[in-house]
Structure formats: structure tokens, C-alpha cells
Amino acid sequence: MAKARVAQSGTRPPRPPIPPAGSGRAGLAGYLRGVWEELKKVVWPARDELLRMTGIVLATVIIFAVLVGGADYLLGLGVRQAVATQAASTAAPAPTASGPVVTAAPLPTNIPTEIPTVAP
């Protein structure tokens, strides 16, 4: 069972009060106004920092794509080899003259080739 963690000082900072349900903004306009106010607080990166970070993300994605693709290819080769080896080792041996030979029953030849139609 997990134990509850207690702050080292033994006290917690007070939580801000929860506003009543009827207060604050209501509706789509209020929501969009709040979004706009939050977007004004964002510190956007400069162009050179944005390009540098984009390059890092793209390089990381390409490196991981090559690693995952290579692992997939190698594991696929291994599975293909294992299946081929298993199929070759479990293949039925050719019948010999001394053993029993099992033959399949002949297929019926009186199968109709036309689909019957039913009058409405």
C-alpha cells in the first residue's frame, strides 16, 4: 500500500478558494476571452531559437525512425528465418514403399455450375 507523502516542513500552503459556480465568465465569448488573455502571457521564442529547436526535433524523429525501422527489419528477418527453419523441420517425409500411402478421395464431378434463380 502506498504511503502518503508529507511536506518536510509539516505544513502545507493554503489553497486558493474555489469560486462559486455562478461567478466568472460564461459561454463561448468568456472562454475565448480567457484563452486570449492566457496567450498574451506566453513568451514566444525568437526565430533563431525556433529554427534551432525545430531542427533538434526533426533530427531526433529521424534518428528514432531509423532505429525503430532497423530493429523492425532485423526482427522480421529473424522471425522469417525461424518460421522457415521450423517449416522445413516439420515437413512430412516422403512416403516410402514400405509405409502406408494415404490418398485423398476424388472430388465430386456433379457440382452444378449455374446458380438457380427463384421467381418472385
Higher-confidence position of 97 and 77: 77
Q: Residues with Cβ < 8 Å from 45, sequence gap 6 or more?
A: 53
pTM over 0.85: no
- pLDDT-based confidence at residue 117 (cuts at 50, 70, 90): confident
pLDDT of amino acid 84: 87
d(C-alpha 80, C-alpha 74), whole Å: 10
- pLDDT-based confidence at residue 16 (cuts at 50, 70, 90): confident
Percent of the chain clearing pLDDT 70 (strictly above): 70
Mean pLDDT of 27-50: 91
The alpha carbon of residue 77 and the mean position of all alpha carbons in its chain are separated, in whole angstroms, by 22
Q: Residues with Cβ < 8 Å from 24, sequence gap 6 or more?
A: 30
Beta-sheet strands, E only, within 1-120: none
pLDDT of amino acid 35: 92
pLDDT of amino acid 74: 96
pLDDT of amino acid 37: 92
Supply angle C-alpha 12, 14, 19, rounded to 5: 145
